[in-house]
Structures are given as structure tokens and as C-alpha cells.
Structure 1
Amino acid sequence: MSQKNKISISLRKREEPVKQEILQAKREQAAAADVKESPEYRGDSSHMHVHEMPYKGKKINGPPFMKNIMLSVITALIISLALGFLLLRMFVSVTGDNTSSPNEPANAGASAVPSDPVSMVTVEYPSFEATIVQVGVYSTESKANEWKENLADQSVPSVVWERDSQFYLMAGSNHDQAAIELLAAELSASDIPTYTKSWSVAGGSAEVSEAQSSIVETIVQHMESQSLASVPLEERKQLMQAWQETEHANGDFLNALKTWSNEGENGISWLMFGNALEKMKNS
């Protein structure tokens, strides 16, 4: 066969489509691989990309020491509240013991039986009279007490007796005229002005407790018989102690008993008992 009659078959046209198909397949495979490796690939939840919403609040950008101050303030408030709660619990537990239980009636205190009132009696006494040594008479009690203190500095006992808005300062009393003149002379020798005169206590009645009535009656008997100075000191102290143990023991009568149980010189006790009876007298 001659060379002119040779038949040549060209495969170039068939190879080109095949190559193009191979290249197309590779491109698709590469594209698929890129999609799987992408974080936005939705086929695998582990590679999902989370889009965070922007925070719309105000961001606090302060110095660091401000945060420490805020933390200290909050801590102090918490501690204060805790301590206040503990104190409240302690207060409630203490006061709860003193309050009545809920089962007790509300008017339990009102139904309590009141204590028996003090039994009072009336003591009658006669009028008394004696000669006194008067040092002065004043229009104010403060002035009379001032002179009384001056006499006390000289160891001279005295009594301030208010009568008819006047304050009489007396340094002694006695039923014996000679004894009272001797007392006045001794006071005058110490530059103490004196004036002797008769002094009387009007009779009447006094309302005292039943326990005090026997003591008042005893003193009234001694004043009437002018025997206050002759009573033994032991008996005087017993009467004073008995008066102190009674209801409403304070007062001028108690002061007279104290003076009488200590000394009672110059008839001072007679003046104090007479003054106390006049103040206790029923109107």
C-alpha cells in the first residue's frame, strides 16, 4: 500500500472532551471539599459559626480602684444587714421570755387581784404648851435655814417651824422656866440672840396607818406627861425602827424619832414632834 493511501485516525478531538470532563469533575470535588472545610458549612454542627448579637447596654469603663470601692461598699452593706438580723433575733428571744404566751388572755393583768389598801385610823391628841427659846423669825424659809446652819456650826441644834407664813427658828424648849432661862443665857453668852416665850400646839387628830397609830399614841402620852427626856434610849430606838417598818414611813415624824433616839437635848425633840403633829393634823 502506498503512502498516499494510508489512513490516519486523529484522537485529538476525542481526547479534548474527555479531558474537559475530568477537569470538570476535579473542580466539583475541590468545590465540595472547600465547602465542607468552611466554618459556614451547615452539614456539620461542630463547624457551625455562631453570630453573636451586639450588646446594646452601656459598657462601664472605669478605673480599677472604683471597682474595689464598689466591692467594699457592697461587702459592708451585706455585713451590716447580717449583724442587724442577728441583733434582732437576740432582742426578740430576750423580750419573748418576758411577754405573755399567745394562749394567755389579753386582759390577764386586768384580772389580777389588787393588793389590799393600807388600813388607816385616826389618832386624837390634846393641845401642848411649853416655853421655848426663839432665835429669830423670818419671812422666807431659805433665810431661816441659813441661820439654822450657822447654829449647827456652833453645835447648837435648832428647829424651823412654819406658822402663819412666818418661819420661826427655835433653839430649845422646856416646861421648867428656870431650865429654859439657863439655856437662853448660855446661848446669849455665845453671841446668839435669844428670846423666850410660851409656845402652844393646838389639839386635833391625825390620820395614820394602823401600824403607826400605836407609835403616835405613845409619843403623845410622853408629850402630855412631859416625860420625853426620861424615856430610855433603847425604847426610843425600838419605836423608831417600828416606824421605819411601816407603810409611808418617811416624813417629819420619822426625823423627830431619829433625833429623839440620838440625843434630844434642850427639848428639841418636843419641838420636832409638835411640828410633825401640826403638819399631820386633819384639816
Structure 2
Amino acid sequence: MDKGNKISVRINGEDTYLDRKEDSEAQKEVQMAQDEQASAIEDWMEEQEKQKKKASNDHDVHSNSNSKSNDISVLERTYPIKNNRFGVPKTIKRMVMAGASAVLIGVDLGYMMLRLFAGMEAPEASSSTAYQDDVTQQEAASGKKTTNEDSSTQGETTADKGNGGQAVAASKSTMTFPTVSAFVVQAGIFSTKEKAEIMQSAIATKGFKSYVWPRDGQFYLFAGVAGSKAEAEQIATLLKAQQVEVYVKDWSVSGTEKNVAQPEGEWVQTGANEWQTLLNPAASLITSGSGDAGTLVKPISSLKSTIPENITEQAAPLQQSYNQYLSAIQSYQTNQTNANLWAIQVSLLRVWYGYEQYVQ
């Protein structure tokens, strides 16, 4: 059999020539070679598949371990981390805040208490708790404060208005006016006339009259006056028995020298001396419930009859207070009530205040 009768088969990259008669055997060999080749390919593919599965399993294990480690949620800061290297401990911060709050509250309360009680004057007698208030300057209790402006300029004469309202010439000289002192029964000190009048009205509802005396921006409420402290204490005791809180204190109108018309000056001096003689009998009417009110009339009636013809505007309020005093005595003689009795005390205080306005 020549080469042309042979069959060429490439197995594993090599050409194999087979005789045609050997065709069936050759086919078997080829089939076996193909089977072996296919089996090798399948084995290789199975090996590759196993490697892929192993790699996949390794990846799953690694992924599971990462997912377990990431189960805890992580919150990112949205603000910068503060450097607490020089921070103040929280305990000290709380103490500072508490202290600052206490100071602010204390200042507020202190200011309120100061507004409420500032200027209140402690009673001079320990047994009394008279109503008092802070002080500010207001107008005089009489509604018009008498001024003491001297129209003269060191001259010997000046033009003053007399009772008739016409200007008259009067000689002037320097005169000394004495200091007048007594004991007052005080019911309070107030910052305004209105506040003093409220207390004055409260005392009036209990049957007692009182007098508001303005001085140095304060308004003093007096419910009585006496020449001695013992008599003033007796008057105070009667008021306290009626739930009127008062205390006794010394009160003075300072004397001074003043250039005035001589007749007028002598009249004012006489009136100051006569006024002091009225204190004891007026107090006796209250403390003992006895006495003759007529003895209180004569000194002032005599003073009224000697009033100078050419009285000045400065002396006019003093003259008016003497007239009110005489009117109070007459009212008491007509109707001896407690209110009229205390009206005598008020009129004495008004005369005293008029003297202070004159000598200022």
C-alpha cells in the first residue's frame, strides 16, 4: 500500500498515516485520542472551576469578616474638636456660675430694699417705731414757702409794704434773734408733702391733729410740743394708747443776726419769748386734763395789739400764725373736744415754724 492509499491523521500535533484497511482500528485510536483529549480538557476545566470556587470562598470569608467589624455605627463630628488643654474644670464653672447668680440676685434685692428703706431715720427713743420714709426735697407744707430775701443793699433805709399795701420808709438795724428750743412729739419723717399728709389723715381719724414741718428737703410730722421732755413723753403716751406711733425728740430753731426794721425786730423777739411761756400751760391741758385756756390767750392778745404798723412781707406769715393760735384757743373754750385741744398744739407749732421762716 503506497502512501496515497494511506489516511493522514494529526494526533497531538503529529501526522500519522494509516492504511485504509486499518481504518476501523485507526478510527478507534482517533476516538480514544479524542476522548483522552476531552477528558484532559474536562479535568483542566474542573481544576479551574475548583480554583475559582476556592477564590470565591476566600473572598466571601474576607467580606464577612469586614462586615462584622463594621457592624458598629460610626458618627463623624460636624464640629472641630476643642483643645481642652487649658480648659476650666466643670466643677469650677458651676461654682462660678452659682456665685455670679447669687451676686446678681443680691444686687437686685439690695437695690429694691434700698429704694424702699433708704433715708429712713431711726427713732431716737427705743420704745417708738414711728412711720418714716426716705427723703427728697419738695415744697413747703404751707403750700407756699416764705422767702426771706432782703431788698436792701446795706443801706439804712428801705421800702417795705405795710398793712395797707403801700411802701413806707423804715430805719433798719442789725438785731439778734434768739435760738428757740423745745421738745416735739414726732410721728414720722417723709420725702414728700403728700406722703406726710397721708399719715396726717390717718392720725386725724383717731381724733388727733398734727402739723407738717418742712426742713432740709424732709417733711416732719409733729403731733405735739412741750417745754420739757417729761411733758412731751406724757403727750406721746396718750397718743400711743390710741395706736399712734410717736417718739419724743429735741427740736430747735437756730437764732441769727438780721438787718431789719427795729420795731418789727423787737416785736418778733417778744413773740419768741412769749411763745416759750405758752408751752407748759398748753401741755398741762393735755396731760392733766385741767387748766384754764384763758391763760393762753393774754400773752398773744397783747402781742397782737403791739404789732408794728409797717410790718414786712417776711413777718406777715408770723402775724397770721398768731391769729390762727388765738382762733384755736377760742374754739377750745367754746367746745372742749379732743380735736380742738390738739388744734392748740398745731397752732403753737405753726407759730414756731413762722419764726424759723422769718429768721432764715
TM-score normalized by the length of structure 2? 0.40
TM-score normalized by the length of structure 1? 0.49
